[in-house]
Amino acid sequence: MALKGNKYGTHRVIEPQGVLTQAAWKIDNDMTKRYSNEIICDVISLNIDSASFTQIEEACGGDEQKIGEMIMGIVAERGKQQNPVTGSGGMFIGKVAYIGEDLADRDLKVGDKIASLVSLSLTPLKIDKILAIHKEIDRVDIIGQAVLFESGIYAKLPDDMSEPLALAALDVAGAPAQARKLPKEGDSVLILGANGKSGVLCGYEAMKKVGPKGNVVGVVRNPKQVPALMELGVYNKVVVASATEPIAVLNAALEANDGKEYDISICCVNVESCEMSAILPVRDDGIVYFFSMATSFTKAALGAEGIGKDVTMIIGNGYTKDHAEITLNVLRENAKLRKLFDEKYC
């Protein structure tokens, strides 16, 4: 009988001792060690989180070979895919290869295809070979294996959509679930990074929640993106401004909301220094939801203090109850969004 590991995976921590796997510098990715409360998967693809992939791509000058070498190097050194600059990871899809006997009661069997819903920054990962790098969608196809701990969450891949489509949606599943949860009818919602995966899904859920009396406004940097976004029907208005320029965002956002501050903002931007663009347009006692691994807690906290904004700031932790099903249902409900994801992210 296999040994039983810690529910949260601390038995895989190499250094420093006493921390969980996300905070650890190095974890044990030896796949020959099999614990009774672990699941091991043969990995098909990694979806590197957007902030992390952007940083890696820029550091490598866009060269695919160098990108692959950097990812292989990170995993070899740390036992996981955790970008040392951003601290973030991503997720994987794979086929179940081993289920520990303590998890035998789960609705899961060897051979099932699943998507991990926990970050690669805490997931033991071993890469044998990189097969392909898809820069435009932050995806890396590999031969390798990964471990899910007893506490780790996952979703079986659905039968009614392709693996790449499900992966693209599940990669940002926490965001649209929060966009359903946070607003109330009649609210005004501002979404930065409105053209990305999480942005359009948030827009769709927010539009449903706020209803005809609400106002959902997207912010994009490229004016060429506006017509297609309006055609999708997931925003009432889309304004053009760089999320790294808070005053420009503030002016454009207020103009799109009859001069009034917003009840909620959602930041889905994958670059640094966008915190104040999310905070400035929101009213006192409003909500700012940061769904971006490029967010700096220090910049957000001190920035809000510096401008005297009393707002509730929420860090998107990637998990909300039923978030996987909520997100997949968006693609089932909205043919235009499904077509967009099929064409852009698959």
In this prediction, residue 97 carries a pLDDT of 98
In this prediction, residue 321 carries a pLDDT of 82
In this prediction, residue 1 carries a pLDDT of 73
Domains in the chain and their CATH numbers?
Answer: 10-157 (no CATH), 174-345 (3.90.180.10)
Chain centroid, CA 255 distance in Å: 30
Give the chain as a 3 state SS string: CCCCCCCCCHHHEEECCCCCCCCCCEECCCCCCCCCCCEEEEEEEEEECHHHHHHHHHHCCCCHHHHHHHHHHHHHHHCCCCCCCCCCCEEEEEEEEEECHHHCCCCCCCCCEEEECCCHHHCCEEEEEEEEEEHHHCEEEEEEEEEECCCCCEEECCCCCCHHHHHHHHCCCHHHHHHHHCCCCCCEEEEECCCCHHHHHHHHHHHHHHCCCCEEEEEECCHHHHHHHHHHCCCCEEEECCCCCHHHHHHHHHHCCCCCCEEEEEECCCCCCCHHHHHCCEEEEEEEEECCCCCCHHHHHHHHHHCCCCCEEEECCCCCCCHHHHHHHHHHHCHHHHHHHHHHHC
Q: What is the pLDDT of residues 1-27, one digit of tens each?
A: 789 999 999 999 999 999 999 999 999
In this prediction, residue 312 carries a pLDDT of 97
In this prediction, residue 124 carries a pLDDT of 98
pTM score: 0.84
Rounded Cα gap, residues 32 and 264, in angstroms: 48
In this prediction, residue 168 carries a pLDDT of 87
Rounded Cα gap, residues 28 and 44, in angstroms: 20
Divide the 346 residues of the chain into consecutive groups of 10 and give the mean pLDDT of each group: 93 97 97 97 94 94 96 98 94 96 94 94 98 95 98 93 89 90 97 96 97 98 96 97 98 98 96 96 98 90 96 86 91 94 88
In this prediction, residue 135 carries a pLDDT of 94
In this prediction, residue 316 carries a pLDDT of 82
Chain centroid, CA 4 distance in Å: 30
Chain centroid, CA 8 distance in Å: 21
In this prediction, residue 190 carries a pLDDT of 98
